[in-house]
Chain A
Amino acid sequence: MNKKEFDNILNECLERLLVKGESLEQCLQSYPEQAAELKPLLETALAAREASTVQPRPDFRARARYQFQSALKEMAAGKSRTSWGWFPRWATVLAIVLVLVLGGGGTVFAADGSMPDSPLYSVKLATEQVRLTLTPSQMGKARLCAELADRRVTEIAYMANKGDVQQVELITERLDDKLDLLVVLIEGRGGVSLPGILPAAPPPEEAAAPPAPTTTPPPPTEEAQPAPPVAITGPGKGWGGRDADDQNSNQAQLRNTLASDAASNRAVLRAALDEMPESVKPALRRALAVSEDGYEEALDALE
């Protein structure tokens, strides 16, 4: 038998052993004359196959997936940047028009994925503010606030990766603002005026309804009498829910979301701290502290 023939037999046995799941003995029985030579080779192949059980560590896998998704978003944002480069100058006006008149759409979607170094980023911030202002219920605002805080953490990690300390610090302040606002909303002080461009709109059903016991306060002013915490109010529309069950369910959902966000954002920022150069680390430590304290306070407020 020449070498080429033996190579083919060896390969056939490997396929049967490793792909089809046949036993070593079955393979060797098919080639009794070559069995003595085949056996040690197939055993070695099985040992090599053992190396295929090695797996990436779960924490690395999570971090890698996050980084990959961030890079993907960055790329998508970069792609849209070319056609919307003129946008920032009109960001606020267009954000209002897009959200109010057109109900969002492609541009808002494109801006949503943008990062602080993108021209669309100002549209993203303006759009967020419009959405926050127009969201009728306290619960809706709180959920949106949680989502926006989560975005800020993504942006912090992204800008840290670019070595931009100034942006990391700036976005950390925005994160702090969002988490503070989240606590205010959870505590039922949602009547405070949201820093923004439009006055807060009352929920449509409340606007038309006669005055009724509700935890959603009337038109927003800093001086408005704080409403009692939503968590302890009776049936009503405190979080936009229809009854106490809805309210409890909504709160439980928000609690789960916040607990999950707190853990994942802590992991993201710690991973960034491990990887980034020393120059960025002080700003990242501040971001980590703001994130941990803010989420803890929000979760406490939900208790």
Chain B
Amino acid sequence: MQDEESLVRRAQKHDQEAFAQIYEEYFDRIYRYITFKIGDAVEAEDLTQQVFLNTLRSISSFKWRGKPFSAWLYRIAHNQVVDYLRKKKKAVVPLEENLASAGDNPQQAAERKLGIERVLAAARHLTDAQREVISLRFTSELSIAQVAEVMGKSQGAVKALQHSGIVALRRALSVTQNE
């Protein structure tokens, strides 16, 4: 992606091409982040779309204050998830075909789906902060520094949450495996 600051400045002037670049760059990552956070791949679609519509409406209010644009964008996604979880409080819907990737045969697709379902189910046993770190690190592929920016925490604190989050996830995974 071209220089993020100039791209965002163009988007703030409603440059459609700039917005399209931002959209393509972040759409899948935001989608995965939300899926991991709420554990529902279908609901995550609508929420992802809403994040980008909210971004469109509010991008003019974004100010460069030393924080990357991605931190602001993930903040919008985080708020969207918080709103959703507050309103919804419902059982997680099984995952559908979203989990299959191109090239999978049916057996591979089924195994992949089972594996991801287990991880998403186990993620519900994490604290909010742990889930946030694991999601940003492993599904959105942000660096420790970027996660620290998004969460407004120190890198040391993020590393500690990463550690405790993985431990909690492992424990939850072994529990679900034994069930």
Contacts and interface: CB of A to CB of B under 8 A. Distances in A.
Partners in one complex: yes
Interface of A: 3-4, 6-8, 10-11, 14, 18-19, 40-41, 43-45, 47-57, 60-61, 64-65, 67-69, 71-73, 75-76, 79
Contacts of B159: 4, 7-8, 10-11
A41 B173 CA distance: 12
* Complex A-B, nearest 7 residue pairs according to Cβ-Cβ distance, in ascending order: A7-B159, A44-B170, A48-B138, A52-B139, A64-B49, A60-B45, A49-B138
14 contacts: A3-B160, A10-B159, A10-B166, A18-B141, A41-B167, A48-B166, A50-B112, A54-B139, A56-B44, A61-B27, A64-B27, A64-B45, A64-B48, A69-B20
Contacts of A54: 31-32, 35, 41, 95, 98-99, 116, 139
Contacts of B35: 51, 54
B14 A72 contact: yes
Given A51-B138, A52-B141, A72 B32 contact: no
A4 to B, nearest CB: 7
B36 A56 contact: no
Interface in B64-111: 95-99, 101
A30 B36 CA distance: 31
B156 interface: yes
Majority-rule SS of A interface residues: helix
Contact of B23 (A50, A57, A68): A68
Given A50-B116, A51-B138, A69-B20, 4 more contacts: A8-B159, A52-B141, A56-B45, A79-B14
Contacts of A57: 45, 96-98
Contacts of A41: 163, 166-167, 170
Interface in B16-33: 16, 19-20, 23, 27-28, 31-32
Nearest to A8: B159
Contacts of A73: 16
B48 to A, nearest CB: 7
B32 A52 contact: yes
Given A11-B144, A50-B112, A68-B56, A55 B28 contact: yes
B150 interface: no
Given A7-B160, A48-B134, A50-B115, A56 B16 contact: no
A286 to B, nearest CB: 26
B22 to A, nearest CB: 10
Contacts of A6: 163
Contacts of B137: 14
